[in-house]
Amino acid sequence: MKPKDKICVIGLWHLGCVTSSCLADAGYDVCGVDFATEVINNLTKGKPPLYEPGLEELLVKNLKSKRVSFTNSFKDALDKAKFIFLTFDTPVDEKDRLDLSIIYSACEKIAKFAPEKFTLVIMSQIPVGTSKILKEFILKMNKRISFDVIYSPENLRLGQALKGFRKPDRLILGLENETLKKEIERLYFFIKSPKIYMNLNSAEMVKHAINSYLAGSISFINEIAGLCEVTDADAMKVAQGMKSDKRIGEYAFLNPGLGFSGGTLARDLQALRKIGESKGVKTQIINSILEVNQEQDKKLIKKIKSIFGSISKLNITILGLTYKPGTSTLRRSAALKIAQKLIFYKANVKAFDPMVDTQKIVTGLKIFKNPYDAVRNADIVLLITEWPEFKNLNFSKIKKLMRKPIIIDSKNFLDPKILKDIGFDYYGIGVKN
């Protein structure tokens, strides 16, 4: 396949926008399509749906070179496409269960407007076994077309997505048949990373398994952190010691905190639970991972109550609202969940986040445009999202602005010695306070 050939990318939120921009930058003629008119209009103007370092610049560059375009017309987008990418950020409900309705709607459009022969590359997160089901669904509506399916699970980390697409640690590739290896090599000629080939179901299961393993690591270290707090051990030092063991490794997800949020990890756990229930297979470890994670918010609330006796009428400031640094997304944010609970307990809750300026997020939550206004008259500050710029705040100034100099650092991100020397009461996670 030559870069001049056309690629259609369906679904243009974070994953689809990154995929479209990177493929266009590699030289392909890319046409992106989505059901959302507002998303299309913004992308046409060079505005990505959410913040990702370097993405806007890359998008604008390839719009100017006319290597990428966006439309609401599935007919135009799919016309003459050699490869069709499904790149929806698969929605989840409040219980982290996947909603595939938008993917099926896209498949209906593929059946109606796709060329007679193409290759379908699915990157969206889907339950194991779904790639085959989607192919049957499309062919049932249009028996005249012929296509192969590749499942290439997305591995884009918010804040590092461009690097993750162009230079991944490896590519997991589920193939319907072995002949597709050559197609993949031509398609991804610009990606030099190792490629691991397997069948469709295995590739789908890899995505579930990786995220579930990472979630398990987070729940494990948080349980250890709880034990550290009552034994005068330091969970951060314990994690450092664990990572020094080659069988665990320096990149292990062993950072004590509030647990996982955002829906990404939880939806894979829920997907595996559902498979287990339908097939009669016990998922005891997966159930426990979720149970431990659900307790983390309660522990933070309990910590505040242990300091003040009651949450009612406290002035509480939250630093960081996005579910992780380096992104503007608030989807399933732990900070918002905590804010809602604190407001329920009748606290006065204010917040600051460098990427959030809207007021219409949580009823009763007041958002400020600079951190110093946010902390004025606060009884306590909660650091929830570890934005790098928070380390450079003037904490001497913050101490003077606060009513009581108390900080709970839910990520053990700040330097406790510096804060204690200034005069703060500092509370970390997994350390004796």
User: Is pLDDT at 392 greater than 90 in this prediction?
Assistant: yes
Each residue's pLDDT tens digit, 350-385: 999 999 877 678 889 999 999 999 999 999 999 999
pLDDT number for residue 264: 79
| Averaged pLDDT, 190-219 | 96
Domains of the chain by start residue, with CATH: 6-193 (3.40.50.720), 207-294 (1.10.1040.10), 296-427 (3.40.50.720)
Which is more confidently placed, 1 or 296?
296
114 within 8 A of 78, measured Cβ to Cβ: yes
Q: Of the given ranges (1-15, 171-185, 232-246, 279-293), which has the lowest mean pLDDT?
A: 1-15
Amino acid at the residue 325: P
| Averaged pLDDT, 35-44 | 96
Q: Which two tokens stand for residue 291?
A: 């149970």
The closest of 217, 380, 333 to 225, measured between CA atoms, is 217
Q: By percentage, how much of the chain surpasses pLDDT 90?
A: 83
pLDDT number for residue 262: 64
pLDDT number for residue 300: 92
410 within 8 A of 417, measured Cβ to Cβ: no
Each residue's pLDDT tens digit, 69-123: 999 999 999 999 999 999 998 887 777 778 899 999 999 999 999 999 999 999 9
pLDDT number for residue 419: 96
pLDDT number for residue 3: 66
What average pLDDT is seen over the chain? 93
Pairwise CA distance, residues 427 & 416, whole Å: 8
**CA 185 vs CA 1, 173, 188, 245, 431: distances in Å:** 9, 11, 5, 36, 49
Pairwise CA distance, residues 281 & 179, whole Å: 34
User: Is pLDDT at 1 greater than 60 in this prediction?
Assistant: no
| Averaged pLDDT, 340-358 | 92
| Averaged pLDDT, 409-432 | 94
Q: Name the most confidently modeled range: 3-17, 61-75, 150-164, 317-331.
A: 61-75
* CB neighbour class for 72 (10 Å; exposed up to 12, middle 13-18, buried from 19): middle
Q: How confident is the model at residue 158 (pLDDT cuts 50, 70, 90)?
A: confident
User: Is pLDDT at 2 greater than 60 in this prediction?
Assistant: no
